[in-house]
Chain A
Amino acid sequence: MRNVVLEARDIVRDYHIGGGLFSSARTVHAVKGVTLSVEKGRTLAIVGESGCGKSTLARIITLIDPATSGELFIDGAKVDIARGGLTPELRRKVQIVFQNPYGSLNPRQKIGDVLGEPLLINTGAPAGERRDRAMTMLKKVGLEEKHFNRYPHMFSGGQRQRIAIARALMLNPSLLVLDEPVSALDLSVQAQVLNLLADLQDEFHLTYVFISHDLSVVRYIADEVMVMYYGEAVEYGSRDEVFSEPQHSYTRTLFAATPRADIDSIKARLAAKTAA
């Protein structure tokens, strides 16, 4: 049974850069007709370099910014935030985790309030229940009860990213957009967060859209991969297809540029160096 959580058809996003005193107005095409669909419990990774439109696409999927044209379906329901009609019910279904764990938490909000806020806004749950649910989620992402009343600045980057993930999960979303969630983290912490994401996906049957520029992370976590280049999806397929037989020349360039840390390539490099 196919159970498509997210479907996007021909998404376009243009930015109009207004004509100032000395320049004429022009249009920048950030996303040029991207079509994708993700089934329940799967992970789609969107790969690309800076300026390729992957973050713009993430904001459209998360219903933060409207698309210029194209259709977006969440759990089969058509969504168009430009024409309003974004119900709290729909809002709840898609949540996001940002790249920078230092900017994504309100510095003046205690962790307990960070986690309780989505419930406070969206549900009529009383304070006690909000507290209990927040506490449960805090433990689920690997933090402890004593962290509940602390402020974000007392946490490390990895812990903050756990808190951001916990906040995103408070409303039981069906789709989680992860916008470079581990790019700002140290290698060892990155591994922990990736493990956490895998565990949570199993437990809550979550669907992930994972935005990244790091191919090794993508190869590890993704089921399907989309490569974006200047606003276009130049490559889209299952992970094994994309990594074993890249079709587009840009994908091949990207693979070739990724540094390799295996012993054979180090040997090859050192051999080439002594020969030169």
Chain B
Amino acid sequence: MALLEIENLVVEFDTASGPFRAVDGVSLSVARREVLAIVGESGSGKSVSMLAIMGLLPWTAKVTADRMDFDGTDLAKLGVADRRKIIGKDMAMIFQEPMASLNPCFTVGFQIEEVLRVHMNMDRRQRRARAVELLEAVGIQEPADRLGSYPHQMSGGQCQRVMIAIAIACNPKLLIADEPTTALDVTIQKQILDLLIKLQAEHGMGLIIITHNMGVVAETADRVIVQYKGRKMEEADVLSLFASPKSNYTKALLSALPENATGKRLPTISDYDPEAAIAGATS
């Protein structure tokens, strides 16, 4: 049975210039122990759909779906309080800007222990021990000393490690990583991706990686969903996506990679006509 199953998700925003449909009928499912990558460019609705599942969108958003099941519970039917019990515990998320996602006023240790206090019913000593254990798991040196550090005393890569520690603190069944390495340097990106995959395998989590970087997809995913302007263009396992992409849009994305350049000029999206690609996908 799939861990997360979404059918026909639609998200609409109420804006000054009328309603705007950010996600238009996306369906997806993630199994336990599976790494799903959602890839798309800005405005493809890849982040919005995940925020909608987490219930983290502002009140101006209208979320509808035919089905929204997580681990056997229907998310749409849950009240705010019940939903909060799942979010952060069984379903956790990490974001693009590690510095901005940590509260600069509190120590790293406090922020890790806060999650444990809210969700796990541990006493003070257990929490501290678990926090040290978590920092060690995400590869931070001298974890016991580091608990007292503030976010600004750490580098971007270390902050992202702490965010991951907070996310896996309650042994979630599903981890959603929204552009987890976009703000980081390549060498740090490599370390963070390796860490995520290692933790995913160890804990048997479902992992959704949202990214715009085809390289990240190639290095992490089992299965890939390609989105464009709120719609799903293609869904395939990683090897067949790269070896034989079906939709025109995916072909365009892959050929726009500079490393695949054959001549002096790079082929661009307009050479493939994305609007025609959409028409092809919907028909």
Contact assessment for B218 and A216 in the assembled complex, using a CB-CB cutoff below 8 Å: no
> Residues of B contacting A49 with CB < 8 Å?
185-188
Contact assessment for A261 and B187 in the assembled complex, using a CB-CB cutoff below 8 Å: no
Query: Which of A191, A195, A198, A258 is in CB contact (< 8 Å) with B186?
Result: A258
The CA-CA distance from A213 to B261 in the complex, in Å, is 18
Interface centre among B212, B253, B259, B265 (most CB of A within 10 A): B259
> Residues of B contacting A190 with CB < 8 Å?
256, 258
The CA-CA distance from A68 to B196 in the complex, in Å, is 43
> Residues of A contacting B238 with CB < 8 Å?
266, 270
| B44 vs chain A, min Cβ distance (A) | 9
Contact assessment for A259 and B219 in the assembled complex, using a CB-CB cutoff below 8 Å: yes
> Residues of B contacting A261 with CB < 8 Å?
214-215, 217-218, 242, 254, 257, 259-260
The CA-CA distance from A267 to B241 in the complex, in Å, is 12
The dominant DSSP class at the A interface is helix
Query: Which of B185, B193, B218, B256 is in CB contact (< 8 Å) with A191?
Result: B256
Contact assessment for A220 and B258 in the assembled complex, using a CB-CB cutoff below 8 Å: yes
Contact assessment for B265 and A219 in the assembled complex, using a CB-CB cutoff below 8 Å: no
The CA-CA distance from A67 to B156 in the complex, in Å, is 28
B247 in the interface (beta carbon within 8 A): no
| B276 vs chain A, min Cβ distance (A) | 15
Contact assessment for A186 and B267 in the assembled complex, using a CB-CB cutoff below 8 Å: no
| A249 vs chain B, min Cβ distance (A) | 12
B190 in the interface (beta carbon within 8 A): yes
The CA-CA distance from A69 to B226 in the complex, in Å, is 50
| A93 vs chain B, min Cβ distance (A) | 27
Contact assessment for B264 and A186 in the assembled complex, using a CB-CB cutoff below 8 Å: no
B216 in the interface (beta carbon within 8 A): yes
Residues A186 and B42 in contact in the complex (CB < 8 Å), given A194-B258, A259-B213, A261-B215: yes
The CA-CA distance from A194 to B258 in the complex, in Å, is 9
A48-78, CB under 8 A of B: which get 1 and which 0?
0110000000000000000000000000000
Contact assessment for B257 and A253 in the assembled complex, using a CB-CB cutoff below 8 Å: no
Residues A254 and B253 in contact in the complex (CB < 8 Å), given A187-B41, A194-B258: no
> Residues of B contacting A188 with CB < 8 Å?
41, 252-253, 256, 268-269
A133 in the interface (beta carbon within 8 A): no
> Residues of B contacting A216 with CB < 8 Å?
215, 257-259
| A80 vs chain B, min Cβ distance (A) | 33
> Residues of A contacting B186 with CB < 8 Å?
49, 213, 215, 254, 257-258
A239-276, CB under 8 A of B: which get 1 and which 0?
00000000000000110111111110111011000001
> Residues of B contacting A100 with CB < 8 Å?
none
A170-213, CB under 8 A of B: which get 1 and which 0?
00000000000000001111111011001000000000000001
> Residues of B contacting A265 with CB < 8 Å?
218-219
> Residues of B contacting A221 with CB < 8 Å?
258
A217 in the interface (beta carbon within 8 A): yes
The CA-CA distance from A42 to B2 in the complex, in Å, is 54
Contact assessment for A220 and B266 in the assembled complex, using a CB-CB cutoff below 8 Å: yes
B239 in the interface (beta carbon within 8 A): yes
B243 in the interface (beta carbon within 8 A): yes
Interface residues of A in 66-97 (CB under 8 A from B): none
> Residues of B contacting A157 with CB < 8 Å?
42
> Residues of B contacting A220 with CB < 8 Å?
258-259, 261, 266
The CA-CA distance from A269 to B186 in the complex, in Å, is 19
B171 in the interface (beta carbon within 8 A): no
The CA-CA distance from A260 to B156 in the complex, in Å, is 23
> Residues of B contacting A260 with CB < 8 Å?
215, 218-219
Contact assessment for A195 and B215 in the assembled complex, using a CB-CB cutoff below 8 Å: no
B96 in the interface (beta carbon within 8 A): no
Contact assessment for B187 and A257 in the assembled complex, using a CB-CB cutoff below 8 Å: yes
Residues A198 and B218 in contact in the complex (CB < 8 Å), given A188-B41, A216-B258, A266-B239: no
Contact assessment for B42 and A219 in the assembled complex, using a CB-CB cutoff below 8 Å: no
Interface residues of B in 187-220 (CB under 8 A from A): 187-190, 193, 201, 212-219
Contact assessment for A259 and B216 in the assembled complex, using a CB-CB cutoff below 8 Å: yes
> Residues of A contacting B214 with CB < 8 Å?
187, 261
The CA-CA distance from A191 to B189 in the complex, in Å, is 23
| A182 vs chain B, min Cβ distance (A) | 9
| A248 vs chain B, min Cβ distance (A) | 14
Query: Which of B41, B187, B188, B242 is in CB contact (< 8 Å) with A186?
Result: B41
Interface residues of B in 257-283 (CB under 8 A from A): 257-261, 264-270
Contact assessment for B185 and A50 in the assembled complex, using a CB-CB cutoff below 8 Å: yes
| B275 vs chain A, min Cβ distance (A) | 13
Closest to B193 in A: A259
Interface centre among B213, B254, B265, B268 (most CB of A within 10 A): B268
| B88 vs chain A, min Cβ distance (A) | 29
The CA-CA distance from A113 to B252 in the complex, in Å, is 35
A135-159, CB under 8 A of B: which get 1 and which 0?
0000000000000000000000100
**Known contacts A216-B215, A267-B239; 10 further A-B pairs (Cβ under 8 A):** A190-B258, A216-B258, A256-B190, A257-B186, A257-B187, A260-B219, A261-B215, A262-B218, A262-B259, A266-B239
The 10 closest A-B pairs by CB, nearest first: A259-B215, A186-B41, A220-B258, A49-B185, A188-B269, A257-B190, A191-B266, A191-B256, A261-B218, A216-B259
